Amino acid sequence: MSIDLKTVKHISKLARISIDDEKANKLKSDLNNIFEFIEKLNELNTDNVQALTSIAETTLRFRKDEIKSENIREKILKNSPEENKDFFVVPKVVE
């Protein structure tokens, strides 16, 4: 199976990464090489194998739903690319 240019562009859209035609062609060839290598897995019959879902054989812990950090608004906003003292700012979404 091979990945065509249309698929590359579709994936880039899903991944929210814009690519031009030159990059798309390069990616197409890279991805096809990588998937050719990945296809090796099809040699194995895994019909009766349970998929591994967690490598650490422990059950996830429960904890009380408590607020442990208060007044961290400033910390959270500190690294935002466009400054506003109370909110994250993005391009206008609703007309």
Q: In the complex, which residues of this chain contact other proteins (CB under 8 A)?
A: 3, 7-8, 11-12, 14-19, 27, 30-31, 33-34, 37-44, 46, 49-56, 58, 60-61, 63, 72, 75-76, 78-82, 88, 90-93
Which one, of 21, 36, 38, lies nearest residue 8 by Cα? 21
- Are 4 and 34 within 8 A, CB to CB? no
DSSP-derived 3-state class of residue 66: coil
In the complex, what is the shortest distance from the CB of residue 62 to other proteins, in angstroms, rounded to a whole number? 10
In the complex, what is the shortest distance from the CB of residue 88 to other proteins, in angstroms, rounded to a whole number? 5
In the complex, what is the shortest distance from the CB of residue 45 to other proteins, in angstroms, rounded to a whole number? 10
DSSP-derived 3-state class of residue 51: coil
